[in-house]
């Protein structure tokens, strides 16, 4: 198996701690803000090609645009929670890059916005190894601690283990990393073993599985797609596995986890039809929507641009949306009537 990855830069984001009340009644009983330390671990690869018998059978695209948008919403939700949140942004490829815990959440958002593609391999095991070191710096015994992992479940570098939930009989066991000649299931076991060590330290692991990039995998590769999904599931703490099958569901998943941990789900502000965000609905907005409809422009579902361009609210940007915006730009349509 040849795995080709143009790793998407450091993606960063996502979730939080458990065991935090979500109802208004329960929240009212909390007399003091919670203190939380959160490691946000993000896979930054751009795409990966799967080859069989020397022929590429499938290329899985990056989920970075969706995760990036959702991550910013997640951090914004933390800001609105009123609790004392410290975040360490960790990105991984064939190694990890991480920062110290910080309560400068605006700074974290800025870092997310600067993420780019980099790396060639995914050392998933190192995420947990490095997170363990980060949590050792937390001296407050009362503080809550968690790791939020955003991953496709692919692991093709780092620690390996013949022992674990996967073996030669597991789905996808025939897939091997050509460079190392090591089967993927051994890398998966290695990552799961490191995750278990972290959980044994009392760290809750929220695992967000970004699986939509494998949606078009042909039957020949369905086994490896199952392996990736099961890897993320095995890594997560109990009731903390969040599979995302469709791109438009990423933002909703992050909102769910944010609310579970005391944060508020923040929806971006937008004006219907104002795709470029200049406060007016103009012909240029119709052009942007048309470009998105025909695939020349890409907006992450749930983003301000996407919501502004999706005039009928059907979760897609289509030529009819561009037409509606053009009509509004020349005074033939009223955006206030859209979606009604």
What is the Cα–Cα distance from 38 to 18, expressed in whole angstroms? Answer: 11
CATH code for the domain defined by 4-260: 3.40.50.410
What radius of gyration do the chain's Cα atoms show?
A: 21
pLDDT at 124: 96
What is the Cα–Cα distance from 225 to 243, expressed in whole angstroms? Answer: 13
Are 191 and 158 within 8 A, CB to CB? Answer: yes
Q: Is the pLDDT of residue 289 over 80?
A: yes
Q: Is the pLDDT of residue 17 over 50?
A: no
Q: Is the pLDDT of residue 16 over 60?
A: no
pTM: 0.68
pLDDT at 307: 87
pLDDT at 219: 85
Domain ranges, ordered by start, for the chain: 4-260, 283-337
DSSP state of 268: P
pLDDT at 191: 97
Instruction: Render pLDDT for 28-68 as a digit per residue (tens, 0 to 9).
Output: 343 467 789 999 999 988 787 888 877 888 877 777 777 77
Q: Is the pLDDT of residue 1 over 60?
A: no
Helices (H) and strands (E) in the chain, counts: 10, 11
Q: Is the pLDDT of residue 119 over 70?
A: yes
């Amino acid at each position: 198996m040849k795995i080709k990855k143009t790793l998407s830069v450091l993606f960063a984001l996502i979730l939080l701690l458990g065991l935090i009340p979500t109802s208004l009644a329960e929240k009212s009983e909390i007399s003091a803000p919670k203190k939380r330390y959160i490691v946000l671990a993000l896979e930054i690869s751009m795409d990966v090609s799967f080859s069989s018998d020397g022929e590429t059978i499938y290329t899985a695209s990056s989920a970075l645009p969706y995760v990036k948008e959702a991550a910013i919403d997640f951090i914004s939700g933390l800001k609105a929670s009123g609790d004392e949140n410290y975040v360490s942004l960790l990105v991984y490829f064939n190694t990890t890059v991480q920062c110290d815990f910080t309560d400068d959440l605006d700074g974290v958002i800025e870092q997310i916005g600067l993420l780019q593609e980099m790396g060639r391999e995914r050392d998933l095991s190192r995420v947990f190894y490095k997170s363990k070191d980060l949590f050792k710096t937390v001296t407050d015994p009362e503080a809550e601690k968690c790791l939020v992992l955003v991953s496709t479940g692919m692991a093709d570098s780092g620690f390996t283990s013949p022992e674990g939930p996967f073996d030669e009989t597991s789905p996808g066991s025939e897939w091997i990393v050509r460079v190392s000649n090591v089967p993927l299931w051994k890398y998966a076991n290695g990552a799961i073993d490191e995750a278990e060590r972290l959980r044994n330290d009392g760290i809750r692991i929220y695992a967000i599985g970004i699986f939509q990039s494998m949606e078009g995998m042909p039957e020949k590769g369905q086994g490896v797609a199952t392996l990736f999904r099961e890897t993320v599931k095995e890594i997560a703490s109990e009731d903390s596995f969040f599979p995302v099958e469709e791109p438009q569901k990423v933002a909703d998943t992050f909102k769910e986890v944010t609310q579970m941990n005391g944060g508020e789900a923040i929806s971006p502000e937008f004006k219907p039809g104002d795709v470029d965000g200049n406060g007016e609905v103009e012909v240029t907005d119709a052009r942007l929507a048309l470009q998105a409809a025909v695939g020349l422009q890409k907006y992450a579902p749930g983003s301000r641009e996407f919501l502004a361009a999706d005039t009928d609210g059907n979760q897609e940007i289509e030529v009819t949306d561009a037409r509606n915006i053009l009509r509004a730009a020349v005074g033939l349509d009223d955006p206030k009537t859209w979606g009604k």
